[in-house]
Amino acid sequence: MGRINREVIEEVRASANIVDVVGSYVALRKRGRNYLGLCPFHSEKEPSFTVSNEKQIFHCFGCGASGSVFDFVMRTRNLTFAEAVRELANRFGIPLPQEKETGQAKKIREMAERLRQINTMAARYFSGNLLNKNSGKIAREYLQSRGIDEGTIQDFQLGYAPKSWDGLKRFLTREKVDLKVAAQAGLLVPKSGGDSYDRFRNRLMFPIKDVRGRTIGFGGRALDDSMPKYLNSPETLIFHKGRTLYGLATAREACRQTNETLVVEGYFDLLALYNKSIHQVVAPLGTALTLNHVRMLSRLAPRAVLVFDGDEAGMKAALRSLEFFLREKMPVRFLPLPEGMDPDDFINKEGKEAFMQLLSEAKPLMEVFLEQSLSKYDGSVESRLIVVRTVAPMLRLLDSPIAQEGYLRVLDQRLGVSEEVLRAELSSSSIGRVSTATSQKRKKEAELPEWEEGIIRILVNYPHWIPTLEESSALKSFQRKDWAEVGGLLIKYYQEGGKLDLSGLLMDVQNEEIRNMISSWSLETSPWREEDAHSRLREYFAGISSSRRRLQDDLKRLKEEIQAAEGRRDEKLMAELLAELQAKKAALLAGEVNDEANLSKGEMV
Ligand SMILES: [Zn+2]
């Protein structure tokens, strides 16, 4: 899919009124200036889902879901941004500029379509064998022995590949399918001499579907002693194990409702949970979770829980994925099953209630990782170092200073290594990511600045003061990059349109948490009165400039004292003063790397 240019996006956004689009999914009532309905993203009895016609955004005060008309379509239909734009363009009759498709691209698209068609036909054939034929008896009995019921069999279109070298091949020949393409789909295995035979024989068949429910490959479980026990379709143009999850199509809706996706390791784990009406489950296809998988998960629901086997291998597999979840900033928990049990065993033996209980006790994976690492500490200096070195790379990936601080405190208590030393360790081996300046900054973030949010909040409510943000040059002192970006966007959008185009702005804000905060502020039913808000804004600006001035005065004073100490050769005092100077400089620098007007190079020691 090619990129869609900005103008087209704008045109679609202007035509697709958010009240109409949301209104076709959700019953909306007018309440004051906004529309109110039951949130489609979480279950609620009292409506807290708000749509603003004026601002062209939605926000749920229950679950925090928010955004533009595109966000709404992306979430409800599980589409990418480009797909959502196309969808709305079609619906509102906006012609998209024909993307020039090269001959090669066209060939690939057509081939992908043919492979999906053949897979779909094969799924029908396998499913027919399982349901209707005598030959499917062995597979049905097997499913029965695993407790899988009719509904689940149908929902997953489970099937049976008979014990034959050419069952599927003959079926496809009857259907006039080009057998060469069937071989490219991985369903037939070519022999020398141009002939081919069925890849899947005497196996229980699991059609693997993409998020739109189209069959792209198969998993097959042997019903005899054949090896491997599980055989997947080979990688094809449309099937990549590292980019596919089993159960995507069946899990989608439930993931949206529960805001959570469970990840299990095997087909039968997934079916066993599904059987007990736990539908928000997906599984990788016999591979470890990849970064791509985690990205797919983050599109299904905001949070994930790993429900892996209760043994060391299961734990290891879970911990290996921690890094990916941290990189994607996606909260993930780990559900510890009793030793030697997999989810299939557990739910069948202990029942759904016991499973749900365990689920509610699942711990953050980071915490599990920390515990696991700390268990290697035996009191020796060496093991202490090993623990610190193991956890440092993960702690560094945490984007929340509060969470980071919390974990550092645990390490402090358990290892007897102070937070300061741990912070030094965090920064020492990094590639300049967490420098002293940033760790200083992080500390401040954890304690202090509410003021950045305060300023943005007021400006979102009273956009005509946005120019004062620019005039006051307060933006330079914003210490948190995300908020500084929002400030910059406010100025940009206001300058471009002479008013605030909030739904456009929200599209440019990457950080979801911040996006949600902004939209909720903009829809607040009773924002402050204008005078109060204005005087508070002025206080913020004044506070920023005076604290900057104070810092600069301190710097100047410190430098004089250092010179004096140098003259007296008082090295101890010098060291202290230098440390203080570093800290102050870091604090000042954090907000104004480019601000040359106030601090010339010559003044910096
Ligand atoms: Zn909601």
- DSSP percent split of the chain into helix, strand, coil, nearest 5: 60, 10, 30
The predicted pLDDT at position 550 comes to 76
Structure-token pair, residue 343: 């989810």
The predicted pLDDT at position 101 comes to 61
Instruction: Please provide residue 17's backbone torsions phi and psi, each rounded to the nearest 5 degrees.
Output: -65, 130
| Interval between CA 58 and ligand 1 midpoint (Å) | 10
| Interval between CA 399 and ligand 1 midpoint (Å) | 25
Comparison of pLDDT for 105 and 282, the residue scoring more: 282
| Interval between CA 28 and ligand 1 midpoint (Å) | 14
pLDDT above 70: residue 596? no
* Environment of ion ligand 1 (residues, CB < 5 A): 39, 41-42, 60, 62-63
The predicted pLDDT at position 100 comes to 57
69-78, 289-298, 388-397, 471-480: the lowest-pLDDT one: 471-480
Contact 60, 38 (CB under 8 A): no
Mean pLDDT of 408-435: 72
pLDDT above 60: residue 205? yes
For the segment 291-315, what is each residue's pLDDT rounded down to a tens digit?
889 988 988 888 999 999 888 888 8
| Interval between CA 341 and ligand 1 midpoint (Å) | 35
pLDDT above 80: residue 43? yes
Provide the 10 A C-beta neighbour count for residue 98.
6
| Interval between CA 254 and ligand 1 midpoint (Å) | 14
In angstroms, what CA-CA distances link 311 with 316, 337, 342, 589?
A: 9, 8, 9, 49
Mean pLDDT of 555-565: 82
| Interval between CA 180 and ligand 1 midpoint (Å) | 49
Provide the 10 A C-beta neighbour count for residue 104.
8
pLDDT above 90: residue 127? yes
In angstroms, what CA-CA distances link 136 with 142, 146, 226?
A: 10, 16, 18
Contact 453, 418 (CB under 8 A): no
Residue 50 bridge partners (DSSP): 36, 59
For the segment 468-486, what is each residue's pLDDT rounded down to a tens digit?
998 887 888 887 888 899 9
| Interval between CA 253 and ligand 1 midpoint (Å) | 14
| Interval between CA 447 and ligand 1 midpoint (Å) | 30
| Interval between CA 64 and ligand 1 midpoint (Å) | 6
pLDDT above 60: residue 439? no
For the segment 156-181, what is each residue's pLDDT rounded down to a tens digit?
999 999 999 999 999 999 999 999 99
Rounded Cα gap, residues 295 and 330, in angstroms:
9
| Interval between CA 278 and ligand 1 midpoint (Å) | 20
Rounded Cα gap, residues 255 and 78, in angstroms:
11
Comparison of pLDDT for 558 and 293, the residue scoring more: 293
In angstroms, what CA-CA distances link 256 with 21, 214, 441?
A: 18, 20, 36
Residue 210 bridge partners (DSSP): none
**DSSP element (H, E) containing 437:** helix 436-447
C-alpha angle 574-423-371 in degrees, rounded to nearest 5 = 155
The predicted pLDDT at position 502 comes to 87
| Interval between CA 8 and ligand 1 midpoint (Å) | 29
The predicted pLDDT at position 57 comes to 93
Classify burial at 63, counting beta carbons within 10 Å of its beta carbon; exposed 0-12, middle 13-18, buried 19 or more. Answer: middle
Structure-token pair, residue 54: 């004026």
| Interval between CA 75 and ligand 1 midpoint (Å) | 12
| Residue-averaged pLDDT of the chain | 85
DSSP state of 235: P
| Interval between CA 22 and ligand 1 midpoint (Å) | 13
Percent of the chain topping pLDDT 70: 91
Comparison of pLDDT for 2 and 87, the residue scoring more: 87
| Interval between CA 12 and ligand 1 midpoint (Å) | 25
Rounded Cα gap, residues 94 and 557, in angstroms:
64
| Interval between CA 493 and ligand 1 midpoint (Å) | 28
Nearest to 452 by CA among 489, 480, 420, 491: 480
CA atoms within 13 A on the CB side of 336: 13
For the segment 470-528, what is each residue's pLDDT rounded down to a tens digit?
888 788 888 788 889 999 999 998 988 788 888 888 888 888 888 888 888 888 765 67
DSSP state of 529: P
| Interval between CA 305 and ligand 1 midpoint (Å) | 20
Comparison of pLDDT for 71 and 547, the residue scoring more: 71
pLDDT above 70: residue 99? no
| Interval between CA 84 and ligand 1 midpoint (Å) | 20
- Give the position of tokens 């007296």: 568
Binned at pLDDT 50, 70 and 90, residue 136 comes out as very high
| Interval between CA 47 and ligand 1 midpoint (Å) | 9
| Interval between CA 123 and ligand 1 midpoint (Å) | 37
| Interval between CA 339 and ligand 1 midpoint (Å) | 37
Structure-token pair, residue 262: 């469970």
| Interval between CA 80 and ligand 1 midpoint (Å) | 20
| Interval between CA 43 and ligand 1 midpoint (Å) | 7
| Interval between CA 89 and ligand 1 midpoint (Å) | 26
Binned at pLDDT 50, 70 and 90, residue 83 comes out as confident
Contact 563, 99 (CB under 8 A): no
Mean pLDDT of 532-540: 83
Binned at pLDDT 50, 70 and 90, residue 443 comes out as very low
Mean pLDDT of 317-330: 89
| Interval between CA 57 and ligand 1 midpoint (Å) | 14
| Interval between CA 565 and ligand 1 midpoint (Å) | 61
Mean pLDDT of 420-424: 82
| Interval between CA 16 and ligand 1 midpoint (Å) | 22
Nearest to 203 by CA among 188, 186, 184, 222: 222
For the segment 371-384, what is each residue's pLDDT rounded down to a tens digit?
999 998 888 888 88
| Interval between CA 37 and ligand 1 midpoint (Å) | 10
For the segment 232-278, what is each residue's pLDDT rounded down to a tens digit?
999 998 998 888 999 999 998 899 889 899 999 999 999 999 999 99
